[in-house]
Each structure stands twice: as C-alpha cells, then as structure tokens.
Structure 1
Amino acid sequence: MTDGVSSGLLGGLMACGLVLLLVFGTLIHGYYVLACGFALLGFAGMNSLAPNDPLAHWAAAALALWAIFRLQFARQLLRLRHFAPRLDRVAQGVGIALVLTLLYAAVETQLAWTLRAVQGLVVAATVVLVAGALFSLRGLRWPALLFCIGALILLAGISATRLPSWSETPWPPGRPNMAQAAAIAELVMLALAVGARLRHVLRSEKALEARTHALMGAMGTDALTGATSRAGFESRGDEWLRDGRPFSLMLVGLNGFSRVTERHGRAGSDAVLTAIAQRLRQQVRADDMVARLGDDEFALLLAGSPTRQKLAEMAIRIETAGATPVTYEGRLLAGGELNMGIACHPADGDTFASLMASAGEALQRCKRQRMGPAYAFAGEHSGGSARGA
C-alpha cells in the first residue's frame, strides 16, 4: 500500500513536470522530470529487489541519477551561477563525484560502497545548495525559501535512514522508508518552488513590459504597433500649429474590438491592432503621421489642405483596408470595423485640444449613426457628405 502511494505520488509529480516541459520547453523542467523518474525507479528497486538480485545495482545507479538531476535542477532553480558562482563550482564538483559513483554502480554489483557514496554526496550537495539558496534569497525569495524547506526535509529523512543496510538484508515489506518519503516531500516542495519561480518570471516580464512601454512612450513610439504614441502625436500637432501649417486630423476608432479579445485573447487582439496600424501607414504619405492613442483608437495627422472629397476617399480606403481579415496562427480573424472623425486646421479649431475635441465629436456622431458612411466631418450634422472645397 505504502509503495503504491509513493509510486503514484512520484508518477504524478513526473507527469506535472512533463506538462511544464512540453509547455515551456526549458531545461529546468527536463531536470525535474528526470529526477522524479529516477527517484521512482531507484526506490521501487529498493522496495522490490533483494540485495543479491542481478538488477539490484541498477536501483543504486538510479538513485545516483536522481541525485545528479536533482542537483542540476536546483542549480538552475536557484541560479547559482549568477548569485553564488563559487558555490556553483563546488556543486559542479559534487556532480562530478556523483557521475563517478554512477559509473561505479553500473559496473560493480557491490552495493554498500555505492549507497554510502550516494547518501554522503546527496547530503553534501544539499548543504552546498542550501548555502547557495541563502545568496539567492535577495532575488528569488520564495523559490529559495521553498527549496530550503524541501532540503531540510530531505536531510532529516536521509539522516534517519541507513541506505547501505539494504546491501546486507532485503528491505522489509511495509517498513517505512524515510529516505523515500523525504525525497517525495522534497520533490513536492521543488514543484512549488518552480511555480513560485514562474510567478517571479511573469512579474519580471510584466514589469519589463511596463518599463518598455513607458520608455517607448517617452520616445514617442507605441511599443506594440510601432505607431507614434499619444505624446509624440500631440507634440507633432503642436509643432505644426506653431509653424502655422495647415493640416487635417483624423481619429480612427475600432467598433466591437472587445469581442476580438474575448474570442482570441490578448495575443489575438494585439495581432489585429498591429495589422491595423500597418494598414493605416500604407494609406498615408511620408510627411503624415499615424499614432495610437488608446487601446482601440488611432489617429492620423495629414499634412496640407486636401479637399473633403480627398479626405472622404481616404476614409473609404481606410475602412476597406481595416475590414480585411487578419491572419493569426493559421486562422483569419475579423479585421477592424473602423469609424473616423475628421477635423481640419484652421477651419475646425485653432488649438490642438480644440481640433481633437472637434474630431472626437465627429467620431462619436459617426458611431451613433446606423446608416451612412464610416466617417464624419467636424461641424456637420449628417454622416459626412464629401463636399469638395
């Protein structure tokens, strides 16, 4: 019963590690899966094989492999090379000793020396790793703490069990193997430590993304789409006003964009936004500007004094380009249903704020209307007749 529960726990931990390995494909999860697998083989061999069995030395070899992959996993988890490089070199030395023990176990059927070496080296590796975890606390608080808890449990179990005694007499059926129980408990703590490390990595990535967005915004660029940021857009508009240049301002809103996020997640909506920004850039000239003002709102600054007919034709081209489906992960996502509000300087405002307000009112009027064009001009009460100037 006890052996079955232990094997089931180790098998479950191994399956969880395998899922993480398939999802993330990182070396640390591979080490965890191998540590679980060889712990299962090693302790199962001790519980079922007699010391004089021809396969008994392979159980000892499996325990050596468990110790090797456990050590490699912990080095990766605690980032010893970064936080404690000298201790990392000591851990590598212990790993080399474990490899030599493994080679001995593979060719020598005498178990006592192998088991003493494995037990002693596991204790030595654990002491080194706990010391390294203390250095890692400043950068990996919870992973290091959880590792230390698991290591203390393992040390207690290893100390309470005399593994070399298995080389003298078979392990009595039903007798608790404290080393096995401690190894399983430690693997559970290591799984929790991996989860804590993943949360740490995700928080770090989010913080980096936020800093990147802030930096790109300060530089005048939207980090996702490559379009100009709101700050850059307003700066260019104020510059053109100071220079007395005529220009038009077009606000572009995406209708129903929240449905894209609900159906395809953040990555799908990001793909749509990036495609919309690219299509907007394709519709303007080199002197014009495309900016992203918010989650689902873009804006164009159009240099010169184009007629309303020309602006209306551009709005129609933008509407058509935006409606084209976006390719994402082999699927076609619905493009943006675009509405546009258009204001012209100096006719619709003599400050940038007033121009934005005029274009915003036109955009809202366009969104409210059920029929008619997908654009509206400031100061008009219908959906944008394209009268020429």
Structure 2
Amino acid sequence: MSHGLLAGLMVCGLVLLVASGARLHGWYLLACGFALAAFTALERLAPGDPLAHWAALALVLWAGCRLQFARQLLELRRFAPRLDKAALVLLAALALAALHAAVETRLPSILRVLQALVIASTVILAAGALAVRRRMNWTALLVCAGAVLLLPGISAAHISGWSERPLAPGQVNPAQAAVIAELALLALAAAARLRADRAMEMRAHALMNAPGIDALTGAASRTGFERRGEEWLRDGRQFSLMLIDLNGFAAVSERHGRAASNTVLAAIAQRLREQVRADDLVARLEGDAPGEDGEGSDHSSFAILLVGNPPRQKLAEMAIRIETAGARPVAHEGRLLAGGELSIGIACHPADGDTLAGLLESAGRALQHCKRQRMGPAYAFAGEISGEAARA
C-alpha cells in the first residue's frame, strides 16, 4: 500500500510539474522517488547487506528534496528571509549527511543524524508556513498540517531500529506513515498554490484590460479619473478633489528596488480606498501603464474625487485619516518599509475651478504650498492660499 501511495504521489508531482512548468515541483517528484526507493530497500535488505546504507542515503535525499520544495513553495526567501537562511543551513547539513551515508555502512549513526535533521527542518517549515499564512492561506495551512503529522511520527519512531532488522511485510511503521501523509498534504498545498497563482494571473489580466483601471494598484487610471470628473462636471455635481503626493517616494525605489516601490504604491492605493465611500473615486494619476520591464513606474501621485460638498472640517478630518493611514509601515519580503509621508492639496468645485484642469491646477498649488511648509498640517485648501502664496 505504501509503495502504491508513493507511486501515485509521484504521478501527482509529475502532473503539477507539467501543468505549472515550475521547477520547484521537480523537487517534489524527487522527494517521492527517494522515499519510495528508501522504504523499498529498508523492507527488503538485511541489516548486514553491503547495500543497506544506500537506503539511508535515499532517505537523506528525500529529506533534502522535500525541504527544498517546501521552502520554495512557501517563498521563504521572499517572505521570511531569516527562516530561509535557517533552512539553507539545514540543507547544507543534509548534503554533508548524504556524503556521510554514501561512505558509511553503519546505519544506526546515519539514521540518528537524519532523524535530528528532519525534526529541525520540519519545525522550520512549520514556522515558515505560519509566517506566510496571510499571503497564501490554504497552502500554508496544508504545509502546517503536514508538519503536525510528520513531527510526532518521526520523533516517536525508533528510526535507527530499522537497521536492526528489515520491516516485516504489512508492518506499519509510524515514521513511514507520517512521511507518506506529509507528502500527500504537500501535493495538496502545491495544488492550492497553483490554483491561487492562476486566479491572481486572471485578476491581473482583467485589470490590465479593464478600461480606466491602473494595473499595478487597482485604482482608477488617469483616463478613468478624467472620465469620472468630466461626467460629474456635465451633470453639474458639486465635488471635491484631493491631490496626494508621496514625499520622498523615489528613495524607496533607490534603496529597496522597483518591487518594493510597487508594493508601497499598491498598499497606499488600498489604504486610500479604505478611507472613502463607495461613490468616491481613488485614482493613480501617473504610471497608467507598466514600464518597459513590466514592473510599473516610479510615479507616486494619487487623486481622490469626493462626491458632494462636505464642509471643510469634514475634509480636513478625512485628510488627517488619510495621512495617518499612509504613514503605517508596509510589509515587503519579510521586512517593514517606511510608509508614505503624504502631502495633500484640496480643491472644491465650483469654488476653486469650473473645469477638471482648473481644479487640478488649484489642488496642485495647494499641494505645493503644503510641501513648502516646514510646520503645520499635511494638507492645504486651495481657497485658503493667498494670491501671493499661490504665485510663489
């Protein structure tokens, strides 16, 4: 039964490898193959057989392949770099253990070292799964479940006892059962990850093709912003415009790279949407399309169209909430980046302009006035700036 289950899991790994084209599934396929070879040898070879130590080598290779597969599946290098470094140390230790098993014929010592390394790697993977649970829920939960099953099975089993006599046909070994159960759950975790990735690709494709939507942040693009603003102007609606700039945003890209700056932009856009009503519009005015490398752009201007004519006190309170939300740190690849230090210029229709271009100009003057102030709030109203200040 165990041989049939492992062979079936190898087929699952092959299907995942072909369906995704991702090399990480090759590690899963190898893990299943080495586990099958190890259990077959341990059941059929006598303890004193000169080939018996190759069964231990196969187990060491199983441990290394499943650890490499799981760390790539969970993207520990990106989301939990410290745990990933610990996993790399264990991989190096397993490589040394493999060399030891290739030349050492005494099975008990090899299997005891293997047992300790498998327990340590399982703890690392469980911690990594908990660290990335919010990003890949089902995948992380299934990896955790596999660790919960494997850890007691490996810890409780007298693995070195396998070298004393071969396993009897039909004999249930807790470690062997735990290994197979974890491999089955890892296959489900890989399938869940593949499904989530496909769904994300479909959403990104839909955003790329949706008119008036910025693909990077999911906010309205400049085209969508202008369309909504002109529509409200034609309908004679009263509305307000908030023009928002991320101060010092270029330094994020310079220090941490384009991927980090994109993460900050997407986070700020989401926080802006959380502060407005369903009828309001959040737009990214720059970087309507991805750059040549497909990763977006370094522009950082946002705008909010607020339907109605709320009193200035309400607009000021909203600006303060937006500033507070934008200042929260942004998580990226297991570390926290400084949030956006926002400056906000506010213009109202029709008091500060009767065209969208006029409102943008008024809000832009208020924004620049706000950025020039060393003290005071992070927002400014176009109607409260004197003509001399506006000209300056």
Corresponding residue SS for 2:176: helix
Residue 52 of structure 1 is matched in structure 2 by 48
Q: Does residue 144 of structure 2 align to residue 161 of structure 1?
A: no
Residue 126 of structure 1 is matched in structure 2 by 122
Q: Does residue 183 of structure 2 align to residue 187 of structure 1?
A: yes
Match of 1:27 among 17, 23, 39: 23
How far does residue 66 in structure 1 lie from its aligned partner after superposition?
Answer: 0.2
Structure 2 CA distance for partners of 1:218 and 1:129, relative to 1, 3 Å: closer
How far does residue 20 in structure 1 lie from its aligned partner after superposition?
Answer: 2.0
Structure 2 CA distance for partners of 1:218 and 1:41, relative to 1, 3 Å: closer
Residue 267 of structure 1 is matched in structure 2 by none
Residue 10 of structure 2 is matched in structure 1 by 14
Corresponding residue SS for 2:151: helix
Indicate the percent of aligned positions where both proteins have the same amino acid: 57
What amino acid is aligned across from residue 46 of structure 1 in structure 2?
L
Q: Do the aligned partners of 1:151 and 1:186 also contact (CA within 8 Å) in 2?
A: yes
Match of 2:37 among 26, 35, 41: 41
Match of 2:173 among 150, 174, 177: 177
What amino acid is aligned across from residue 186 of structure 2 in structure 1?
L
Q: Do the aligned partners of 2:56 and 2:101 also contact (CA within 8 Å) in 1?
A: yes
Match of 2:95 among 93, 99, 116: 99
Residue 340 of structure 1 is matched in structure 2 by none
Q: Do the aligned partners of 2:16 and 2:191 also contact (CA within 8 Å) in 1?
A: no
1:201-350 mapped onto 2 (5 Å cutoff): 201-214=197-210, 217=212
Q: Distance in 1 between matches of 2:76 and 2:213?
A: 36
Structure 2 CA distance for partners of 1:208 and 1:154, relative to 1, 3 Å: same
Q: Distance in 1 between matches of 2:44 and 2:20?
A: 35
Q: Distance in 1 between matches of 2:104 and 2:116?
A: 18
How far does residue 195 in structure 1 lie from its aligned partner after superposition?
Answer: 1.1
What amino acid is aligned across from residue 53 of structure 2 in structure 1?
H
Q: Does residue 57 of structure 2 align to residue 69 of structure 1?
A: no
Q: Do the aligned partners of 1:50 and 1:171 also contact (CA within 8 Å) in 2?
A: no
Q: 1:347-383 deviations in whole A, cap 9, x for unaligned? A: xxxxxxxxxxxxxxxxxxxxxxxxxxxxxxxxxxxxx
What amino acid is aligned across from residue 136 of structure 1 in structure 2?
V
Match of 1:200 among 196, 201, 207: 196
Q: Do the aligned partners of 1:140 and 1:197 also contact (CA within 8 Å) in 2?
A: yes
Corresponding residue SS for 2:140: helix
Residue 144 of structure 2 is matched in structure 1 by 148
What amino acid is aligned across from residue 95 of structure 2 in structure 1?
V
Q: Distance in 1 between matches of 2:13 and 2:203?
A: 27
Q: Do the aligned partners of 1:87 and 1:128 also contact (CA within 8 Å) in 2?
A: yes
TM-score (norm 1): 0.54
Q: Do the aligned partners of 2:90 and 2:121 also contact (CA within 8 Å) in 1?
A: yes
Residue 83 of structure 2 is matched in structure 1 by 87
How far does residue 173 in structure 1 lie from its aligned partner after superposition?
Answer: 3.4
Gap runs ≥5 in structure 1? 220-227, 236-389
How far does residue 159 in structure 1 lie from its aligned partner after superposition?
Answer: 2.0
How far does residue 96 in structure 1 lie from its aligned partner after superposition?
Answer: 0.5
Q: Do the aligned partners of 1:94 and 1:125 also contact (CA within 8 Å) in 2?
A: yes
Q: Distance in 2 between matches of 1:213 and 1:185?
A: 42
How far does residue 167 in structure 1 lie from its aligned partner after superposition?
Answer: 2.1
What amino acid is aligned across from residue 24 of structure 1 in structure 2?
S
- Greater relative CO (CA pairs within 8 A, separation 6+): 2
Q: Distance in 2 between matches of 1:163 and 1:43?
A: 12
Q: 1:41-81 deviations in whole A, cap 9, x for unaligned? A: 01111111111111100000000000000000000111101
Structure 2 CA distance for partners of 1:170 and 1:218, relative to 1, 3 Å: closer
How many equivalent pairs are there? 219
Gap runs ≥5 in structure 2? 215-222, 231-392
Corresponding residue SS for 1:130: helix
Q: Aligned Cα RMSD in Å? A: 2.0
Q: Distance in 2 between matches of 1:205 and 1:25?
A: 15
Residue 363 of structure 1 is matched in structure 2 by none
Q: Do the aligned partners of 1:31 and 1:70 also contact (CA within 8 Å) in 2?
A: yes
